[in-house]
Amino acid sequence: MTIRSATSSRPLRRPLPLLGALVLGGLALSACGSSSASPPPATTVTLQQSAPTFHVHAIGTSGSEVGDTSSFEAPLLQNGRVVGELSGSRTLVETSKDLPWATPRRVLGATAGQALNLWFTTDIFYIFGKGSIQTQGERFAPENSDPTALPQIQISIPAPMAVIGGTGQYAFAHGQLNSLRHSDGTYTQTFTLRLGN
């Protein structure tokens, strides 16, 4: 079918072939973007951590207060050999009196009525010659009336945290860290990682 313009004697053609090509091209691109490529396989990295050296920066002198911070560092080991270093920091964001809901619902294995504070934590695990893994998240730690004590997670209760990135061999890493604190103050740090973007 040919249509003539009111101002021109040249026929106007409907752009159906062009429109069809654009639609088909868009569908092809959409199909490419929605491919169900399998995610990269998970990698497990297990490190032993010595008891940390810590520095507490309390904002008051009468026990735990929101805003207290602590920084810490510790050697990381595999098979008894030092392979890296942990450095990190924590900030107290809620005290136990504001967390009555936390004990049974959010803290694995916590006993009813235990006073727990909520800390926001960032850790960097640097492994010599390989790169670093960065983690971030919340930590529940038993309330401690001593403002100079490092807030540490409960003994023998796994504490998960998100892996938010990395460098070197761990570039674009994501996954989860499970920290297990032992009675002697050392830790087992187990990462379940997916590498690549």
Task: Please give the pLDDT value at position 29.
Answer: 46
DSSP string, the chain: --EE-SS-SSEE---HHHHHHHHHHHHHHHHHHT--PPPPPEEEEEEEEPPPEEEEE-S-SSS--TT-EEEEEEEEEETTEEEEEEEEEEEEEE-GGG-TTHHHHHSTTPPTT--EEEEEEEEEEEETTTEEEEEEEEEEEE--S-TTS---PPBTS-EEEEEEEE-GGGTT-EEEEEEEE-TTS-EEEEEEEE---
Q: What is the rounded average pLDDT of the residues 22-29? A: 49
Q: What is the rounded average pLDDT of the residues 146-153? A: 66
Q: What is the rounded average pLDDT of the residues 155-173? A: 91
Residue 111 pLDDT exceeds 80 = no
CATH topology for the 42-194 domain: AOC barrel-like (2.40.480)
